[in-house]
Structure 1
Amino acid sequence: MHPIAIVGPGAADLAGALTDRLDGRTAVVSHADGADGGDGASDGATDGGVAVESPRDRTGADTEVSLASDGEWTGRGRVDGLDAFLDGLAPDHEYLVAVGDSRLRVPTVLLGADAEPEDVPGTVIAAADAPGGVDLDRLVADADAAEPWITRETLVRRVEASADADRSGAIATFTGRVRARDAPGDDRTTHLAFEKYEGVAAERMDAIAAELTERDGVFDVRMHHRTGVIEAGEDIVFVVVLAGHRREAFRTVEDGIDRLKDEVPIFKKETTEAEEFWVHRRD
């Protein structure tokens, strides 16, 4: 799923124009109370102040969900945190447009004369005083080029669709996440920031996955490493293996994450309550 956030006056109007141009299943999430560029509650059914609209009611999206005044998102039940909500949407959608929410670490469009890029955690890909000042063709291209929001479930679905899935008796997965502390007395890690060599990291992961798939009894291997700022408790990296039996699956998952950490050029900066440092410079 390719996500984009639109923040500022007229965000909902631009979201509607953008979703009409996107070729694929699209979800739009926005504030039910109209805050931060949202445009009010929908005409759809409500649950505890959260509006959930039927497909393509307002913006042309296949799924449209709003944020209640209590800060909870509702779509597939209630979840804690926006990232967890997006994880639920990702396997079923090609695009997500977040209207009026500046918390997302995703490509962001800023609207309004007073908009400040430093106020949003995501990369600002366009800025204009009003929706009409945004090049929609360029925005669609940016949406397609943006790093996708990949989840473990996304990768599991992909291996389940493998041509050799009927020969498989096992799917093994590994999920790496941000550890808040190694020991009870350690300073708490607030977040990690990951940077990668564009193109090189993806090529190396693809090569590792292809080599592991050549093993006897292994039918498909998928890997994904998130980049940018990832907070304590959030997921970082996934390895998913489709194999004939559990032993091949477990062994390949372990080898896959070991090789990813050793061979893929991704660099980690750690921020704790006391300091900030590049981890590779301390190894």
Structure 2
Amino acid sequence: MKVISVIGYKNTGKTTLVTKLVQELSKHGRVGTAKMMTDHRLDNPNADTGKHFDAGADMVTAVTNSELVTIQRDPSVEKAIDALADAGMDFAVIEGAKDKPIAKIVLGDMEEGVLNVVAKLPARSDWDLGELVDIIKEQPDHVTLDLLLKQIKETPGIEKVGGIGSFTGIVRVDNEEFRTSQLEFESYKTAADASIQKIREEIMQQEGIIDVLIHHKVGTIKPLEDIVYIVVAAGHRQQLFPALAETLERVKSEVPIWKKEITVDGNFWVHDHA
């Protein structure tokens, strides 16, 4: 899923641009949006759902004839983006979130220090939407396990699949001899992408394997956060599990991604990165 945020001061046309981007991106895939509204409460405390929430429910879902609305605690833009990916969106357009490391389109004048600006545009203008769509398509993918599961269920030949298996690697904290504070992954992206694609294509040559999806994150990853996803769809479980295990071992040994352990006692590079 490609993620972009639109930021700017009041009356710069943020909502107008988001609406236009949704219209254009919808021609290329499924689009979800999120809007930062930190000073608002959308759920009426006098409504039944508001009473449920105020009574202590961690999540409340309202079902109407035309809408499915979920309200939950501990909100964050990161959770919103994950939820859009989990729902199978191809694009996420965020209105706001200027302090987050998301790729940003800035409208009008904005103070210095805004990170990851990919386009700066005049406020309330006749924007080149085609150029902006191209910029958004170039952004790195935001991937969740649920997104991969949705994608693999849409693969050609899914009618032959009898099982889907997945592996999720996470940041282990207790490593017996040391405790990990976080991990940092680096890669040669072009070479890593080519290596992952080669593994995927070769595993798919095995009898009964319908599709294989692999995603390995890079950058800083915190304790218990996800590192790598592998999803395999096969005709039978006897074919599925060996292929899943082989894919994992090949990703660990062949893909040029390097892991740095950040521990309470010091930092070091690790050969076995997954």
TM-score between the two structures when normalised by the length of structure 1:
0.72
Distance 2:12 2:126 in 1: 14
Distance 1:87 1:157 in 2: 14
CA contact (8 A) 1:11 1:100 kept: no
Stretches of structure 1 lacking an aligned partner (at least 5 in a row): 35-40, 50-71
CA contact (8 A) 1:12 1:99 kept: no
Match of 2:25, SS state, is coil
Match of 2:155, SS state, is coil
| Match of residue 96, structure 1, among 85, 92, 99 | 92
Output aligned runs, 1:255-266, within 5 Å: 255-266=246-257
Which residue type is aligned with residue 87 of structure 1?
Answer: D
Distance 1:278 1:11 in 2: 48
- Partner residue, 2:53: none
Distance 1:26 1:239 in 2: 24
Output aligned runs, 1:38-57, within 5 Å: 41=40, 46=43
Output aligned runs, 1:66-145, within 5 Å: 76-78=70-72, 80=74, 82-90=77-85, 91-102=87-98, 104-110=100-106, 112-117=109-114, 120=115, 123-127=116-120, 136-145=129-138
CA contact (8 A) 1:222 1:240 kept: yes
Which residue type is aligned with residue 43 of structure 2?
Answer: T
Comparing 166-175 with 125-134, greater Cα deviation is found at 125-134
CA contact (8 A) 1:19 1:26 kept: no
| Match of residue 186, structure 1, among 156, 164, 178 | 178
Which residue type is aligned with residue 215 of structure 1?
Answer: Q
Query: How far apart are 1:4 and its partner, in Å?
Result: 1.3
Match of 1:215, SS state, is coil
Distance 2:174 2:126 in 1: 46
| Match of residue 34, structure 2, among 24, 29, 36 | 29
Structure whose alpha-carbon radius of gyration is higher: 2
- Partner residue, 1:176: 169
CA deviations on 1:62-81 (whole Å, 9 max, x unpaired) are: xxxxxxxxxx9x96452655
Query: How far apart are 1:15 and its partner, in Å?
Result: 5.0
Q: Residue 151 in 1 paired to residue 151 in 2?
A: no
CA contact (8 A) 2:252 2:272 kept: no
Distance 2:38 2:77 in 1: 17
Q: Please list every run of at least 4 consecutive aligned residues from structure 1 whose deviation after the TM superposition is greater than 6 angstroms.
A: none
| Match of residue 226, structure 1, among 217, 220, 225 | 217
- Partner residue, 1:3: 3
- Partner residue, 1:60: none
Which residue type is aligned with residue 114 of structure 1?
Answer: E
Distance 1:249 1:14 in 2: 47
CA contact (8 A) 1:105 1:228 kept: no
Distance 1:175 1:77 in 2: 27
TM-score between the two structures when normalised by the length of structure 2:
0.74
Distance 1:18 1:153 in 2: 25
Go from structure 1 to structure 2 and tell me whether the alpha carbon gap of 1:113 and 1:79 turns closer, same or farther (over 3 Å shift): closer
Distance 1:219 1:205 in 2: 17
Match of 1:211, SS state, is helix
Stretches of structure 2 lacking an aligned partner (at least 5 in a row): 47-58, 62-68
Query: How far apart are 1:102 and its partner, in Å?
Result: 4.2
